[in-house]
Structure 1
Amino acid sequence: MTGVAATTRATEIVLPGAVAPDGLQVRVRDLPAPARGQVVLRMEATGVSFAEQQMRLGKYYDQPPFPFVPGYDVVGTVVATGPGVDGVFPGARYAAVTKIGGWASHLVLDAADLVAVPPGVDPEAAETVLVNGVTAWQMLHRTARVAKGGTVVVLGANGGVGSTLVQLARHAGIKVIGTASARHHDAVLRLGATPVDYRDPALYDRIRALAPNGVDAVFDHVGGPGLKQSWALLRRGGTLVNYGSASQKGENGLGSMIALFGRLYAWNLLPNGRSATFYNLWAGKRNLPAFRARMSEDLTKLLRLVADGVLAPQIGGRFPLARAGEALALAESRTVLGKVVIVGQEDQP
């Protein structure tokens, strides 16, 4: 299990085009041996995020052309290393944010993108805080920079990012108002947020009643017409962080992004002390060393919070790789609490 690998046979889930979840395809192929600085990772857990839901429709900004293997993040065991790999050990468990490629039994990755998973942390638990966790962490601590004692609104507090955001904010001493369907209110309350029914026609009035002086940040993955009302919830000095457009799912990715950026830019010109921004996990990747260092730092903190019991993984469902289509369909139903996880086979080499 050291040095350059022998040929590795990989099972992959392929997104062939804009198909329904049951239109995903399975292929088996031989992976190339890892090149200098690369490893072969045996997947133990990957997951379904909003990105894959948009990619399925061909509407995710900057997605690759069809066909391709989706999978935004992955946890697994290194089974082989290429030359020039230092500090990454075969047999050890690592996590990585990949953007694509995670829905596979094995994949080749750059060793520099791996982050060690602490001993005792289950791969499925680690999976829930990768793209969801780093998104939540960076929006809260790097983008909005909400201080202890502040108040924030988390739209979709039952979702993968939202449920993590609630826990991180509460751990930082921040009050949270979280929207969710009524069936998830007890769970959102247990996470530490004050739940509000997102279907309530008076939703924003109810939030204002809970925070009459305004809030320090709103984390909005819904976008669309409601974005203006999220903006109106802010106090002076508050920040609106938009990180998705669930209300416009299926619309043209580039066109929607251009319209969104124009609106956020215009709001930032208003003399009211508020700010609005779009969070992009991949911002700054042109400076790859700095991007990797930031990603490693934040993921290491998140995985340590899981190991210490501060973050409770929220798993909305588990599916084997061969049933990835069912996993995608469940995630798209928007009925689950947390993240839908896809798991690998323990008997794979």
Structure 2
Amino acid sequence: MDTNTSLPTTTTRIVLPGLVEPDGLVVDLAAPVGTPAAGELLVAVEATGISYAEQAMRRGRYFAQPPFPFTPGYDLVGTVLAAGTGADGGLVGRRVATLTKTGAWTGHAIVAARDSVVVPDGLAADLAEAVTVNGVTAWQMLHRAARVEAGDTILVFGANGGVGGLLIQMAQHSGVHVIAAASPRHHESLRARGVVPVDYADPDLASTVRRSAPAGGLAAVFDNVGGETARTSWSLLGRGGTLVSYAIIAAVSGTGSLWPPFLRHLGRILTWNALPNGKRATFYDLWAGHGTRGKSYRRRLDEDLTHVLELVRDGVLTANVAARFPLTDISKALELAESRTLDGKVVLVP
């Protein structure tokens, strides 16, 4: 292991102790800092953030979340301080962006080197953070799952969110026309970006979308709601179109076990894919292949996230940071993120 005698021994860490409101999160100011094992890196965190995943975890409604208590945080950006055996020692002193799923809400983190990508020089940590998990998710859904082409028209739900906002930018960069489903309070800003806004709660949403869609239907729909919204999304596709489902907020926001609605959703996707209409549906999972096809997963992550970060550095994509908070103000930050009033991502700075 590459070592440094000045490595920290304690750090600040946020702990989610159980099913609590945002003000029930615990700020541990003297959490121990571990030593990176084989294939791991010790990172001084410069920016992390709040995504929908952590909001669901707070309510105990995220698939495969660890048992309480634990430290949330789906991704981070920071400087490598030390590398464990087998990890690239050349990363020490470099800034990396890392997918963590949990554990990023801290001042120093032990992360997997295989889930870390070097951040291009000239890109600020908070901007890199705003496009790490959100950016690679949007890019892979658009270009690997849906495989959109210039001239296509797509529908994006959650258009004002961290993933949706980046997906819109990426689609426009590729010459794709966008219809954006969001709350009416976001419509003015969406129009200013050159997209057609629609109200996601419109009871006649399908007819509203069809008025702006090609006669043959949409090339792709990106749905994070599930339930009836997924059925509407499927009906709006044209021949050869793709429904990319990447969350089931309708179920996560409810009560009871998540498994029945999730299995019903997957069953519906399988049923749709068996129909001879030229359309297809898929459930996008950022972690698919992480444990079973490690080399190909790592290759895609490096290629896709590096490209997204370079697009932000070069000014092609805008990293939309809705607000910045010190890590120790996590309760206020989470309350704001959960208010659903923001356009972009809340970034935490240790």
After TM superposition, the score normalised by the length of structure 1 is 0.94
Whole-Å separation in 1 of the counterparts to 2:148 and 2:296? 23
Shift of 1:70: 0.7
Is residue 260 of structure 2 the alignment partner of residue 255 of structure 1?
yes
**Of residues 218, 222, 226 in structure 1, which corresponds to 2:221?**
218
Range moving further from structure 2, 161-170 or 4-13? 4-13
Counterpart contact for 2:223–2:229, Cα < 8 Å: no
SS of the residue corresponding to residue 211 of structure 2 reads: helix
Which residue of structure 2 aligns with residue 241 of structure 1? 244
Which residue of structure 2 aligns with residue 328 of structure 1? 334
Is residue 82 of structure 2 the alignment partner of residue 76 of structure 1?
no
Which residue of structure 2 aligns with residue 143 of structure 1? 145
Whole-Å separation in 1 of the counterparts to 2:318 and 2:191? 14
Which aligned pairs between 1:42-57 and structure 2 lie closer than 5 A? 42-57=44-59
SS of the residue corresponding to residue 148 of structure 1 reads: coil
SS of the residue corresponding to residue 179 of structure 1 reads: strand
SS of the residue corresponding to residue 227 of structure 1 reads: helix
Shift of 1:2: 5.3
Which aligned pairs between 1:293-304 and structure 2 lie closer than 5 A? 293-304=299-310
Range moving further from structure 2, 299-308 or 20-29? 20-29
**Of residues 261, 267, 281 in structure 1, which corresponds to 2:286?**
281
Among all aligned residue pairs of Structure 1 and Structure 2, give the percentage whose two residues are the same amino acid.
Answer: 52
Which residue of structure 1 aligns with residue 3 of structure 2? 3
Which residue of structure 2 aligns with residue 19 of structure 1? 20
Evaluate the alpha carbon distance shift between residue 325 and residue 253 of structure 1 in structure 2; reply closer, same or farther with a 3 A threshold.
Answer: farther
Which residue of structure 1 aligns with residue 109 of structure 2? 107
Is residue 238 of structure 2 the alignment partner of residue 232 of structure 1?
no
- Return the letter of the residue paired with 1:316: A
Is residue 325 of structure 2 the alignment partner of residue 319 of structure 1?
yes
Which residue of structure 1 aligns with residue 184 of structure 2? 182
Counterpart contact for 1:4–1:83, Cα < 8 Å: no
Is residue 313 of structure 2 the alignment partner of residue 307 of structure 1?
yes
Which residue of structure 1 aligns with residue 32 of structure 2? 30
Evaluate the alpha carbon distance shift between residue 7 and residue 288 of structure 1 in structure 2; reply closer, same or farther with a 3 A threshold.
Answer: same
Query: What per-residue deviation string (whole Å, max 9, x for no partner) do you get for residues 234-256 of structure 1?
Result: 00111111111222314332222
Whole-Å separation in 2 of the counterparts to 1:163 and 1:51? 17
Whole-Å separation in 1 of the counterparts to 2:289 and 2:39? 22
Query: What per-residue deviation string (whole Å, max 9, x for no partner) do you get for residues 255-275 of structure 1?
Result: 221111111111111221111
Query: What per-residue deviation string (whole Å, max 9, x for no partner) do you get for residues 302-345 of structure 1?
Result: 0010011111011121111111122222222111101111112x
Which residue of structure 1 aligns with residue 271 of structure 2? 266
Whole-Å separation in 2 of the counterparts to 1:194 and 1:224? 23
SS of the residue corresponding to residue 77 of structure 2 reads: strand
Is residue 296 of structure 2 the alignment partner of residue 290 of structure 1?
yes
Shift of 1:81: 2.8
- Return the letter of the residue paired with 1:268: N
Whole-Å separation in 2 of the counterparts to 1:294 and 1:87? 22
Whole-Å separation in 2 of the counterparts to 1:333 and 1:244? 19
**Of residues 157, 160, 164 in structure 1, which corresponds to 2:159?**
157
Range moving further from structure 2, 84-93 or 14-23? 84-93
Whole-Å separation in 2 of the counterparts to 1:70 and 1:328? 12
Range moving further from structure 2, 80-89 or 244-253? 80-89
Question: What is the aligned-residue RMSD (CA, Å)?
Answer: 1.7
Aligned length: 344
Shift of 1:187: 2.1
Shift of 1:66: 1.2
Shift of 1:229: 0.7
Whole-Å separation in 2 of the counterparts to 1:218 and 1:72? 25
Is residue 346 of structure 2 the alignment partner of residue 340 of structure 1?
yes
SS of the residue corresponding to residue 10 of structure 1 reads: strand
Q: Mark the runs of 5 or more structure 1 residues left unpaired by the alignment.
A: 345-349
- Return the letter of the residue paired with 1:86: D
Query: What per-residue deviation string (whole Å, max 9, x for no partner) do you get for residues 175-233 of structure 1?
Result: 11011222222322233321122233332211111013210000000112221111110
Shift of 1:288: 1.5
SS of the residue corresponding to residue 260 of structure 1 reads: helix
After TM superposition, the score normalised by the length of structure 2 is 0.94
Query: What per-residue deviation string (whole Å, max 9, x for no partner) do you get for residues 99-151 of structure 1?
Result: 01110110011223221111111111111111111111111111111111111
Is residue 172 of structure 2 the alignment partner of residue 170 of structure 1?
yes
Evaluate the alpha carbon distance shift between residue 258 and residue 321 of structure 1 in structure 2; reply closer, same or farther with a 3 A threshold.
Answer: same
